Amino acid sequence: MRQLLLKAAVPVGVVGIILLLIVPIPAGLLDVLIVLNIAFALLILLTAMFVKRPLDFSVFPSLLLVATLFRLGLNVASTRLVLSEAHAGQVIQAFGQITISGSLVIGAVIFLILTVIQFVVVTKGAERVAEVGARFTLDAMPGKQMAIDADLNAGLITEEEARKRRADVSAEADFYGAMDGASKFVKGDAIAGIVIVVINFVGGIIIGMVQHGMEADEALSTYSILTIGDGLVTQIPALLMAVATGMIVTRENAESEMGQSASRQLMQSRNALLITGLAAVSMGFIPGMPILPFLLIGAALLFAASRVTANAARESEDKLDAEIRSSESAAEGPEELMDRMRVHALEISLAPDIVDLAAGGSGDLLTRVKSLRRKLAIEIGFLMPPVRTRDNIDLPSESYAILIAGVEVGRGTVPRGHLLAIGSGLEHLPGSSVTDPVFGLEGKWIPVEMSHAADLAGAAVIDRASVIITHLSDIVQAHADRLLSLEDVRQLTEHLKQTHPTVVEELTPATMSLAAIQRVLAGLLAERIPINDLARIYEALALRAKTSTETAALIDAARAVLGPAISARFARDGRLRVVMFDPGLEQQLLEGMRVSDGAAQIVLAPDTTLQLLESVRTTISTLDHTGSDPVLVCAPSIRQAVRKLIGAQAGGIAVLSYEEAAAGGHATDVVGVVRLVQSALPSA
């Protein structure tokens, strides 16, 4: 019942407003509606002050339209009573008498001042801010969408969070667009109020003298009180709504309410309070000035400055005490020393001047590392080890380094107060040009305040933490085989046992040990093959291990069942771009196959090997990489040996067998052929 009433409140209210424009109402009911109008406007103003971000009050444009229509309906109802009965209720009468205070000139001046404040100052300013806010919000939408996509691809946010942020961006654009139009309602309302006041005053005097037989002075006195009272009960709510409009369109997303934010920010500078207080006291001693008000206000400001100093000193002492307690409790005993001796699987070292990136908060480095762990676990089935973050005074200023087992594998620079803009049209922006360490794209570190300009230029703007996380994600995926520990394999196996107990019991421990399974999974990860389909992998290993326990054979067995998933990773729009060996060259590679200690390798003459590597490099470099990434295909028996031979020379190209390439049922486009010539060109 309550929900039904709430749903019906607005439609019924709008219908009632329309009736106000047509049906006469008694003066008593008009008093109630006028009070309701003032209270409604005050409620909207206070709500606008207490919201933390504009979207928390997204219904404001619609409420503004309803409130404007309500006031115009009251204007029509009051005008009907003023002109017909020379009386419009006690509220209008009281407002008019209080404002006039025995002088028509004073009342008229006060009313005109209120009208000027609303129409010229508040309404005009709110209209301009809403117009500019709508334009800049719409212009920034593409850049914000690209930033969300970048965070999603880097694993900083989940798909659900990305959808929510995209919805927020769209809602923000719709809100500011609606506010741009709604601000016109406020302006039109102010103009209508002025016109109605003129009609009430002039028309009232004429009707009073002609129809009601009043004398000129009596008509002037009666209708001036009613006109000014009617204008005030309309202009005051209109002024409140105009102020609420200005507050909404000038608010930024904040973590606290407006009053709390304003008091905290105004009290942040001791010097500002001190100088203002001294200036107020000094002005009190100017001849002719009332000294008491200046002394009171100046003393209050000086007291506030002293409180700021005391709070700052107390916070400094608390911080020092906490550091002393921390240092005392962190006395280096055997356990602490052993922990320092331990080599961490994955580590991020930060230069001392950028340790603020790991200071905590919803968007800091540590929080995003957790999101990256979740993303990698879902996408490739890999349990990324915990990341240790520490400062390193040996690093250059504003630099970071990524270490695996204590060995540095990547390094970069993230300047303070800057954002990385990637894209075209950055030539006119200040900053230092760089090459993205992951994708090799040209970019520029721009000052934070230039982010909007970069958005308008169509560039993707990435913050410092996102740059580090993207670099970390690429390094983890490239070295996942080194990071996969025996403990990780045990956890994966125990988790799989809960859903596929028969598969696990068939494979381990009788057929394969966890160490042997680790070698197989690491081999898959080394070629960036996801291992999240663990049940199928274990089934293939259980079958293959009965005839061969060689790691290479087991890896091929696992790849065989994952063939459709492997080819799907490289296909685009149902087509797979492949590079092949010349048949004569492939036969030569088959003849050069040698197996030693269970590991296959290709043995060729030194000059033939060099020529082959050069041919592969030339073929790959001449390909158009604007589509999907090409793959190199060859016979299954030489696939692993080919990858070992050319892996470091082929720019990271994946090596698939013919069966794996055909497993997904994708159409195949041969985009290059590797031949034993000095220059290998793509085939026609």
pLDDT tens for 209-223 read 766 667 766 777 676
Residue 118's pLDDT band (cuts 50, 70, 90): low
Distances (CA, A) of 143 to 146, 249, 251: 5, 21, 21
Quick one: 133 and 107 in the same domain? yes
Quick one: 71 and 170 in the same domain? yes
Last residue of a domain, one of 264, 290, 308: 264
Cα distance between residue 521 and residue 380, in whole Å: 11
Is 383 within a domain?
Answer: yes
Quick one: 647 and 512 in the same domain? no
Residue located via tokens 């690093």: 395
Q: Best-predicted range by mean pLDDT among 10-14, 154-158, 613-617?
A: 613-617
- Identify the CA nearest to 567 among candidates 682, 476, 671, 657: 657
| Mean per-residue pLDDT over the chain, rounded | 77
Quick one: 98 and 173 in the same domain? yes
Quick one: 251 and 271 in the same domain? no
Cα distance between residue 21 and residue 291, in whole Å: 55
CATH of residue 461: 3.40.30.60
Quick one: 149 and 218 in the same domain? yes
> Do the beta carbons of residue 680 and residue 673 sit within 8 Å?
yes
Residue located via tokens 């293959």: 544
- The whole-number pLDDT of residue 319 equals 61
Is 2 within a domain?
Answer: no
Task: Please report the sign of the dihedral spanned by the C-alpha atoms of residue 589, residue 590, residue 596, residue 599.
Answer: positive
pLDDT tens for 76-97 read 787 777 677 667 777 777 777 6
Residue 681's pLDDT band (cuts 50, 70, 90): very low
pLDDT tens for 529-587 read 899 889 999 999 999 988 888 888 899 899 999 988 888 888 888 888 899 999 888 89
Q: Mean pLDDT throughout 11-36?
A: 78
Quick one: 122 and 101 in the same domain? yes
- The whole-number pLDDT of residue 403 equals 92
Residue 413 belongs to domain spanning: 341-480
Quick one: 347 and 422 in the same domain? yes
Is 332 within a domain?
Answer: no
Is 44 within a domain?
Answer: yes
Is 642 within a domain?
Answer: yes
Quick one: 21 and 86 in the same domain? yes
Spatial neighbors of 657 by CB under 8 A, at least 6 apart, are 559, 633, 634, 635, 636, 639
Is 334 within a domain?
Answer: no
pLDDT at 465 over 60: yes
Quick one: 362 and 459 in the same domain? yes
Tell me whether strands 399-404 and 631-634 are parallel, antiparallel or unpaired: unpaired
- The whole-number pLDDT of residue 517 equals 92
Quick one: 466 and 488 in the same domain? no
φ, ψ of residue 606 to 5 degrees: the values are -55, -45
Is 3 within a domain?
Answer: no
Distances (CA, A) of 83 to 196, 207, 231, 448: 12, 7, 14, 61
Cα distance between residue 346 and residue 385, in whole Å: 7
Is 305 within a domain?
Answer: yes
Q: How many domains does the chain have?
A: 5
Last residue of a domain, one of 480, 515, 545: 480
Three-class SS string for 279-311? HHHHHHCCCCCCHHHHHHHHHHHHHHHHHHHHH
> Do the beta carbons of residue 404 and residue 346 sit within 8 Å?
yes
- Identify the CA nearest to 41 among candidates 194, 239, 230: 239
CATH of residue 631: 3.40.50.12790
Q: Exposure string (b/e) for 377-389, b if CB count within 10 Å is 16 or more?
A: eeebbbbbbebeb
Cα distance between residue 568 and residue 564, in whole Å: 6
Last residue of a domain, one of 561, 595, 614: 561
Quick one: 82 and 184 in the same domain? yes
